[in-house]
Amino acid sequence: QLQLVESGGGLVQPGGSLRLSCAASGNNADYYAIGWFRQAPGKEREGVSCISPGSTRINYTDSVKGRFTVSRDNAKNTVYLQMNSLKPEDTAVYYCNGFLRGNVYWGQGTQVTVSS
C-alpha cells in the first residue's frame, strides 16, 4: 500500500507563490504516477497535474499551464507542485493521489487560500 501526505498549503496574496509537497511511503513508491487534484467549495474536483515515474511524462490542466510546475524527487519519494502567480480562483483543497496497476491512493489534502 501507499501512504500520501500533502503539506505546504496556506494563505497567500494574489500573485504570490506556494510549493506543495506530496510525500509518499510504502512499497514501490517510486513506481506510482502521482496526480495533483483540487476541490473548491461548491465545485467539482478537478485534476491539476500529473507526473509519471521517472518524470518522463508531465501534464497540466489548461488553467494552470505556465504558472504551476510539478517535479519529482525520487530520492525523497516526494512530488512537488510549485505554484506561481496565484489567483483567487486557485483557492481550494489540494491533494495528491498515487496510481499503479489500477490501485489508487489519496492523501488528506492541504488548504490553499489566495486572498488579499
d(CA 82, CA 90): 13
pLDDT of 19:
98
pLDDT at 112: 98
**pLDDT tens, position by position, 51-83:** 999 999 999 999 999 999 999 998 899 999 999
Residue pLDDT, tens place only, 98-114: 999 999 999 999 999 99
pLDDT for 84 equals: 98
As a whole number of angstroms, the distance between CA 92 and CA 26 comes to 27
For 5-58, what is each residue's pLDDT tens digit? 999 999 999 999 999 999 999 999 999 999 999 999 999 999 999 999 999 999
What is the structure's pLDDT at 88? 98
Q: How far apart are CA 28 and CA 49, in angstroms?
A: 21
Q: Write down the pLDDT at residue 50.
A: 97
Q: Which three cell numbers stand for residue 7?
A: 503539506
